[in-house]
Structure 1
Amino acid sequence: MAQSENGMWIIGYGSLIFKPPPFYSFRVNGYIEGFIRRFWQSSSDHRGTPESPGRVVTLVSLEDLLVHDKLHHDIHVYELLEHKAIVSVGASVAQSSVSISSVSKADLKVWGCAYYIAPENVEKVKEYLDVREQDGYTTHVVPFVISSISEENEFTDEVISHIPKENGVSYITSSIYIGTVENASFIGPEDVKVTAKKIVESRGPSGENLEYLQKLCESVRGLGAADQYLEELYKLASLYRN
């Protein structure tokens, strides 16, 4: 969240994409750079229980990828492949030979959305998110590049006109909820097959874990973005459920 005299922005890369916060004025689509999206966060309060935690998404930064060798495997399997098509579910996926040290933030894009909250609704939405985004999530400031405006109304033109541009690209700088690698609920790196089975088995107060994964996949597709990790995870989960 980024609060100002003009209101604030909320960035979504997980459930916020398909389950918007209350009282938002309009939404834009776009991406953040320098992160990968993974189902490596344990969920004991929404899509699982304390006895049987589910899995929800978090972001892993390029800085953490560079520091922690154990996180390297996934980025070579998904984000760094020259040809990102997965031939068959569950098959061994060829890995890229790109050195992790040569990866830039621009090489890693996570597509999502951002919601504008008018000044009179800022405190109410902050209180709502403080309850919703628990179990290991903390706020971090990141830039968000706007690719399109998905909802337009009487507020849109005025707010958008104040958004800065860099090299012709509009962006906002905002806070975002992330479960970092240091938080107690961080699970990863976890084999995609293990994650898929856990998602199929899990259910919590907010519903089935598989529903979360399905809606997220559909929402990211709706942005016109490719996320091979999400797609393989969903295909595996669908097979295990059947």
Structure 2
Amino acid sequence: MSLEPAPPFVVFGYGSLIFKPPPNVVARVPGFLKGYVRRFAQKSHDHRGTPENPGRVVTLVHKEDWDIFSASDPFPDEDIVWGIAYTIDPEFEADVRAYLDYREKDGYTMEIMPIYGIVDGEETVIIANAYCYVGRKDNPSFIGSEPLPQLAHRIWISVGPSGPNKEYLFKLAAAVRELSPDSHDKHLAALESLVKAMDEGTETSG
């Protein structure tokens, strides 16, 4: 009696994994999540900031959870999160899991969720069970909603071992735009605009 092969390990990247993919990828496809928001609501002590001066990186938050404490959010209905679903070579699954667990160690928890795509003009589930690292609101690095000018200034000034925080923002915003003709993220675009204005000296910190 033959055993059914294990389902493939598919990880969904919505932050730095978009522009810095995991190793040993055998397939990748753009897609999106529904019912979540992507926000710079997570402190970064180890990549884009330091323990003394943490930067900000994105996390996913369930839409209903975000609505509870984010009345000032200027994009309350931005609940489609575009990213990339990566299928990992089964031979290296354990190694990649360990790599991702270490890379996402600063407050992230793995969850399983469906990935959607647009097929023949219709939204449909393209991957039923993908793994995704989520910074839940009860983790120590979760900071929640901040006024956009204040958040932009924090990103503008922060630097960590992986480089300037603004580099992370710029790479992510550009990568999301390139995923699909339909991909967009107003939150990323607004922050990108504010931080670039600070770079150009056309806006002061908030």
Q: What letter corresponds to residue 48 of structure 2 in structure 1?
A: R
Change (3 A) 1:40 1:144: same
Q: Does 1:78 align with 2:65?
A: no
| One of 98, 115, 120 as aligned partner of 2:91 | 120
Tell me which stretches of 4 or more aligned residues in structure 1 moved more than 3 Å. 166-169
- Number of positions where the alignment pairs a residue of Structure 1 with one of Structure 2: 192
> Please, what is the CA RMSD of the aligned residues?
1.9
Structure 1 contact 135–185 (Cα < 8 Å) conserved: yes
What is the match of residue 230 of structure 1? 188
Structure 1 contact 28–146 (Cα < 8 Å) conserved: no
Change (3 A) 1:147 1:113: farther
What is the match of residue 34 of structure 1? 35
Q: What letter corresponds to residue 118 of structure 1 in structure 2?
A: D
Q: CA deviation at 1:181?
A: 1.1
Q: Does 1:178 align with 2:134?
A: yes
Structure 1 contact 200–240 (Cα < 8 Å) conserved: yes
Q: Does 1:209 align with 2:206?
A: no
Identity %, equivalent residues? 45
CA separation in 2, counterparts of 1:110 and 1:52? 28
CA separation in 1, counterparts of 2:28 and 2:187? 25
Q: CA deviation at 1:17?
A: 0.5
Aligned partner of residue 7 in structure 1, secondary structure:
coil
What is the match of residue 47 of structure 1? 48
The 5-angstrom pairing of residues 1-242 of structure 1 reads: 5-66=6-67, 68=68, 70-74=69-73, 77-80=74-77, 108-147=79-118, 169-223=125-179, 224=181, 225-242=183-200
Aligned partner of residue 146 in structure 2, secondary structure:
coil
Q: What letter corresponds to residue 139 of structure 1 in structure 2?
A: M
What is the match of residue 100 of structure 1? none
Comparing both chains, which one has the higher relative contact order based on Cα–Cα distances under 8 Å and sequence gaps of 6 or more? 1
Unaligned runs of 5+ in 2: 201-206
Residue deviations 1:6-57 (CA, integer Å, cap 9, x gap): 4310100000000000111121001010001100100000000111100000
Instruction: Provide TM-score, normalisation by structure 2.
Output: 0.87
